[in-house]
Each structure stands twice: as C-alpha cells, then as structure tokens.
C-alpha cells in the first residue's frame, strides 16, 4: 500500500452519523437524497480517534519547523551547498515533470504558488514518490536493506551531500525552508511497517500507518506552503489540520484499493471492526459485496470524511497563494468517496474512478475555496 501526497504519490465519522439500510438491487436507482429517507438500522458506532499527536511528537516537529532564529538561518546559509545554477534548474525541472505526469490535478494547483514554493513542493513530492516506489517497485524483495540505505541517503541529503540530481533539488529546498528530518524518517518507517504487517487489529494501528505514509507529507509541506499573515490560528492547529488531510487521503486510498490489495493478500482494514459487522478476511478475499459489507463501508467512508472536515479550516489558514493545490487534493479525494457510493459500495470488484471531466470541473470550486478569507477565530 503506497502513500498519498496529502496536499496529493499514489499507494499501498462522526461516530453518531445516521446508518441507512442498503439498497438490495444490483443497480443504484435511488439518489443520495432518497437514501437519506430510508429507515435507520442499528449498527456499531466506530471510533474516529487515532493515535494522540503527543505520542507522534508532532509538537516537536512544529517547533523545529517554525523557528525564526536569524542567527541559525545565517549559519545554515553559510553551509548551503553551492550547485551550478544550470544544474539546479535542471534538477527542479525534472521534479516538475514527474509531478505533472503523476499528480496532474495537484500539479495544476501548484502553478499559482510562488516559484520558490513550487520548486520546493515538487522536490518533496518526488522524494515521497521515490520512497513509495521502494515498496511497490521490482526491488521490493530486498526492501529491508533498501530502506536502510535510503534512510542513510536521507541523512546525506540533510547534511548537504546529495547522491543524484533529484536529491540535489531536495537538498536545496532544505536550505530555503525550515524542514525537519523527522517526517521524512517517519515516512520511511511507514514503508518498513509494510514489510512487517499485512493486517491491522484496530483503527489506532491503522491510524499510525496512515500517519507514517501520508500524514507526514502534510507536516513536510506546511513550512513550504506558509501560513497566511492574517490567520489567527496557531501553528500547531494548522499542522494538525495538514496531518488530518493526509489521514483522510490515505483512508480514501485504502477504501479505493481494497480489491487490489486483497489480490496481494493484504487487508488494510481494522480487524475488530470487520468482526463487528460479521465480516472477516475471507469476505474480502471472496470479493462478494454483501449488505453487511455495504454497511461496513458506509462507516469507513464516514470516518474518512470526518478527517477531511477536520482539515478544511486548516486549508484556509495557509498562505493564499498555496491554498489551491490543498483544496484540489481535498475535494478530489472526497469525490473518490462519492464514486465508491455510486458503485453501490462495491470496492472489491470495481475501482472507484473520478473522470477527467469531473476533475477539471472541480478545479474552479477548489480555487473559489482557496481565495476565502481565513476565519478570525479558529479553535
């Protein structure tokens, strides 16, 4: 299962939401509004709580990435590797090409950002994608040693010793923005988790995985995106919102890819919650969409939407020029959840798909949301 760029590389609830009886027809003939009128069914309430962010040491990351010590900045500037301008320009151009090819909607959103921020986001995206490909690529059988070498290489990047041109783009980014190494190391740990686990006992375990492979991207990106000068929100609040967007994106990836992951013998769903709905791994592997599966999926989708809701206000607190790609990601991933519903919750034999036309129609809405004024009072 691969990670999700949370602002967006491709992969591996409110608890009191109403529960509706599923439609027994194999075709969806009712609208969502009609479904809302169906009788309520008592089903288990699922927790939305994951790992406390204190346990993840998010506050320490925020503190290190929010420093404005001019003396430290001056020392860092003196240590900055001196790359030939033409070499650096080509490095960022390669990052741009990769981002535009593999994350088209997100890439379009970055075009409104300042040039320096564009380049930095492209460099971070490429590093995350390359990290993800260590798991999904042909060398996955040698993953443990490959991840160890990749982490050593990460430390070299942070110490100004890039291995190749793409590394050099990230090295340059590190000296332009106060990025901390921990989110990058945590993402590598998420890849290690994939080598050790193919099942998750409960949502807290799954939340930790989602943090490692996707929430970390939000933490990496906030220093580059910048916080709006007029925002009254605290830095920790905005970082938490960015982390929640990553969680929502990864939960959506998981729900979209259930069938594909099952073909690889992997189930990224809380085992205890499957049991609450009378389900088990065999129901996933059999790829049979039952009424119980539909009810289970409704709850999983509601939880993903809960995290998107938590992310919304934070997205509006970022620097105005950086909000469009974030809103594009948020709205696009919500559309994936809609597509699962449109498929009558069949994510075992069908892949939820958002067509190009819908993506393009979503961009103006994302732009409209991105130009909204940050709220003066933000809790």
- Residues 230-269 have pLDDT tens digits of 998 999 999 999 999 999 999 999 999 999 999 999 999 9
Structure tokens at 277: 């709905």
Phi, psi values for residue 31, rounded to 5°:
-80, 165
Q: In sequence order, what are the residues at sequence separation of 6 or more whose Cβ sits closer than 8 angstroms to the Cβ of residue 299?
A: 13, 17, 19, 43, 44, 46, 273
pLDDT at 358 over 90: no
Instruction: Return the CATH number of 54-67+80-371, one of 1.10.3720.10, 1.10.600.10, 2.60.40.10, 2.40.37.10.
Output: 1.10.600.10
Q: Is the pLDDT of residue 24 over 60?
A: no
C-alpha dist (Å) from residue 12 to 36, 50, 176 = 33, 19, 31
Q: Give residue 48's Cα distance to chain centre.
A: 17
Closest C-alpha to 211, from 264, 251, 258: 251
- For 10-21, the pLDDT digits (tens) are 443 333 333 333
Residue 201 near residue 94, CB atoms below 8 Å: no
**pTM for the complete prediction?**
0.84
Contacts for 89-95: CB closer than 8 Å, 24+ residues apart: 90/165, 91/165, 91/166, 91/168, 91/169, 91/172, 92/119, 92/122, 92/123, 92/169, 92/172, 94/126, 94/165, 94/166, 94/169, 95/119, 95/122, 95/123, 95/125, 95/126, 95/166, 95/169
User: Comparing C-alpha atoms, which of 277, 130, 299, 270 is closest to residue 210?
Assistant: 270
Q: Are 268 and 254 in contact (CB under 8 A)?
A: yes
Cα Rg of the chain (Å, integer): 21
What digits encode the pLDDT tens for the residues 49-77? 888 898 889 999 999 998 754 444 544 65
Distance CA 87, CA 91 (A): 6
| Percentage above 70 pLDDT, the chain | 82
pLDDT tens-place string over residues 266-291: 999 999 999 999 999 999 999 999 99
Q: Report percent pLDDT > 90 for the chain.
A: 61
> Please, what is the average pLDDT of the chain?
84
pLDDT digits (tens, 9 = 90+) for 132-186: 988 765 555 578 888 999 999 999 999 999 999 999 999 999 999 999 999 999 9
So where are the chain's domains?
54-67+80-371
Across 74-88, 189-203, 285-299, least confident range? 74-88
> Rounded distance, CA 298 to CA 23, Å?
12
């Amino acid at each position: 299962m691969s990670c999700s760029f949370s602002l967006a590389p491709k992969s591996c609830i409110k608890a009191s939401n109403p529960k509706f009886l599923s439609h027994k027809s194999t075709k969806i003939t009712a609208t969502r509004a009609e479904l809302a009128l169906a009788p309520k069914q008592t089903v288990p309430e699922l927790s939305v709580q994951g790992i406390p962010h204190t346990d993840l040491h998010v506050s320490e990351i925020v503190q290190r990435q929010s420093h404005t010590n001019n003396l430290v900045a001056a020392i860092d500037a003196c240590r900055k590797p001196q790359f030939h301008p033409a070499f650096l320009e080509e490095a960022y151009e390669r990052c741009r090409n990769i981002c535009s090819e593999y994350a088209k909607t997100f890439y379009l959103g970055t075009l409104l950002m300042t040039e320096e921020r564009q380049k930095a986001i492209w460099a971070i995206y490429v590093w995350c994608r390359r990290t993800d490909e260590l798991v999904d690529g042909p060398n996955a059988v040698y993953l443990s040693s490959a991840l160890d070498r990749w982490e050593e290489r990460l430390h070299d990047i942070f110490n100004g010793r890039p291995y190749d041109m793409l590394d050099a783009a990230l090295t340059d980014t590190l000296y332009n923005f106060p990025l901390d190494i921990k989110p990058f190391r945590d993402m590598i740990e998420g890849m290690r988790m994939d080598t050790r686990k193919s099942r998750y006992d409960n949502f807290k375990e799954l939340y930790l995985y989602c943090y490692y492979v996707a929430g970390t991207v939000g933490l990496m990106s906030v220093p580059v995106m910048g916080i709006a000068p007029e925002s009254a929100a605290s830095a920790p609040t905005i970082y938490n919102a960015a982390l929640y967007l990553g969680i929502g994106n990864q939960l959506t990836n998981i729900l979209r890819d259930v069938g594909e992951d099952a073909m690889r013998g992997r189930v990224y769903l809380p085992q205890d919650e499957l049991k609450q709905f009378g389900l088990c791994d065999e129901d996933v592997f059999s790829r049979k969409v039952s009424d119980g599966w539909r009810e289970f999926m409704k709850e999983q989708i509601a939880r993903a939407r809960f995290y998107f809701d938590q992310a919304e206000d934070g997205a509006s607190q970022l620097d105005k020029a950086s909000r469009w790609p974030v809103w594009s990601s948020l709205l696009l991933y919500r559309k994936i959840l809609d597509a699962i519903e449109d498929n009558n919750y069949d994510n075992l034999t069908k892949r939820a798909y958002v067509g190009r036309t819908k993506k393009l129609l979503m961009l103006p809405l994302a732009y409209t949301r991105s130009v909204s004024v940050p709220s003066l009072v933000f809790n």
